[in-house]
Amino acid sequence: MIPLSHNHNTQEHKAEKNSISMRQKLNRLLQSDHTVPGGNSTSDFSNPEIMIPKVVVRPNPFFTSITLDVTCAQGKHVIVRMFDEDDKIVKMFSWFLVKGINITNISEVEFLPTGVYSLDIVDLEGDVLYSTHISKG
């Protein structure tokens, strides 16, 4: 009985470590600067193996929803963040991209005020893989 209990506690401890690690990553994503170095608003990085070679954000300007078409070079877990002009996060969600084309819809944006918004796709290490600006009409 004691070894069984010991294994159970070890598994709980590992889960707790993973939970803390994910919390730390999420905090870093929330606090990281959401601009691309050099002020570029596209995923025009000098990395020879571009993780996300193509992103289509439509419609722009948007009204009630936004569709994201993302082509990914390999499976990758990302965070999609949307900021208003005051750098306040107005939408954020986790998304597992598969190799190839991925499509999702960002809904419930009709309540957002008219203006310009930043949209970032960030990996779990906090690196910005794609960044653009979109308008609410």
> Does residue 4 belong to any structural domain of this protein?
no
> Does residue 10 belong to any structural domain of this protein?
no
> Does residue 50 belong to any structural domain of this protein?
yes
- The span from the CA of 123 to the CA of 129, in Å, is 7
Sign of CA dihedral 26, 28, 34, 40: negative
Rounded percentage of the chain residues whose pLDDT exceeds 70: 64
> Does residue 131 belong to any structural domain of this protein?
yes
Work out the pLDDT band at 50, boundaries 50, 70, 90.
Answer: confident
pLDDT tops 80 at residue 90? yes
> Does residue 84 belong to any structural domain of this protein?
yes
> Does residue 111 belong to any structural domain of this protein?
yes
> Does residue 92 belong to any structural domain of this protein?
yes
Total domains in the chain come to: 1
pLDDT digits (tens, 9 = 90+) for 15-38: 444 445 555 555 555 554 444 433
What CATH number has the domain bearing residue 87?
Answer: 2.60.40.1930
> Does residue 6 belong to any structural domain of this protein?
no
DSSP secondary structure letters along 56-91: EEESSSBSS-EEEEEEESS-EEEEEEEE-TTS-EEE
104 is in which domain, residue-wise? 32-136
